[in-house]
Structure 1
């Protein structure tokens, strides 16, 4: 499952990331992490103070990865609409849900200020990045002056996160695709 050259600490982090996404915080036991990582208890506690420390490291890594992936689309070439479109239409494992958004529904993570912080920071970054692009589009005359950047950015984030929920509930990515298609039609520059 893992590359032989991956360090034990990396295997523990990656295993925790996967398990958090699949099972949530409570369902991610130290034993499950160790088994998936092929690491012993001593190795885990050698590298991390315990499950909360390892979970925080894994959550931070997941958040950083989401930001980097989003920035690939949002920071690319093209108009504001094209960059937002690239972000919305990028390849995703829709039926697995969002690795960050899913963690916001985990009561144990939300109850911990420390574990929740990377999620808040990432969603805040995404909202701000999208608002900046919407404002660029308004300034260029690409989007209606009536669009409020902050509200439009919130709508984009809500569409993506809600699209994941609807797709998972339906067992089909079609619901996600429909939500994204509808939003893009609303944002489309006038012909």
Structure 2
């Protein structure tokens, strides 16, 4: 029986992850979770206290996956510009938006510190990785010494999140792709004249 219980719990979490990505918190109902997961109502309440408990677990799962992706990208033994480029150019389902970032569009998530924490933690980690790469790039002469690491890190994160919004509004990936190309062009333009600007 234990493996079946574990399977039901996993299906509930995975189904909720997908629903949150597609609909956001307010669009996810217990009935929708059960339909997507293919489990009975008894299984849901056996494993979780209710919707918010399950959603929190699903949020943590999605956040952990994103954090693993960030960690792998920024752990690469390449230049700072190459690591930042790898993050910005990472393959994404643009028209679905950010599976983590879109959650803070829901008022119920924003006002609940516990539900908001996985999102905050994920963006804090991304900020740290980006800021460290920018600092390293400045020290190596890849970027202008005047570039502020914290401000630029937030700008790059905002390019991705804003690019999602623009593309979803247009139902086209073109605005997102333009935003990413623009951000990379600005980074390259900040490089001192003596620095190689062709490193990808």
TM-score (norm 2): 0.90
Partner of 1:126: 126
- How far 1:104 sits from its partner (Å)? 1.1
Question: How far apart in 2 are the matches of 1:27 and 1:152?
Answer: 34
Q: Which runs of 5+ in 2 are unaligned?
A: none
Residue 49 of structure 1, CA deviation: 1.0
| Runs of 4+ that moved beyond 4 A | none
TM-score by length of 1: 0.94
Cross-structure match for 1:174: 174
Structure 1 residue ranges without an equivalent (≥5):
none
Once the two structures are superposed, residues 39-78 of structure 1 have per-residue CA deviations (whole angstroms, 9 ceiling, x without a partner) of: 1111011111111110000001111111111222222121
Deviation per CA, 1:148-170, whole angstroms, max 9, x where unpaired?
10001011001010011111111
Superposition deviation, residue 116 in structure 1: 0.3
Q: Number of aligned pairs?
A: 188
Q: What is aligned with 1:55? A: 55
Is residue 2:21 matched to residue 1:16?
no
Task: Find the aligned partners of 2:179 and 2:77 in 1 and give their Cα distance.
Answer: 24
1:116 is aligned to 116
Distance across 2 between alignment mates of 1:174 and 1:16: 29
Which whole-Å CA distance do the structure 2 matches of 1:117 and 1:123 have between them?
10
- Correspondence list, 1:7-156, <5 A: 7-156=7-156
Classify the secondary structure of the residue corresponding to 1:7.
helix
How well do the aligned residues superpose, as a CA RMSD in angstroms? 1.5
Q: Distance in 1 between matches of 2:43 and 2:70?
A: 33
Structure 2: distance between partners of 1:76 and 1:23 = 34
* Equivalent runs, 1:156-167 vs 2, <5 Å: 156-167=156-167
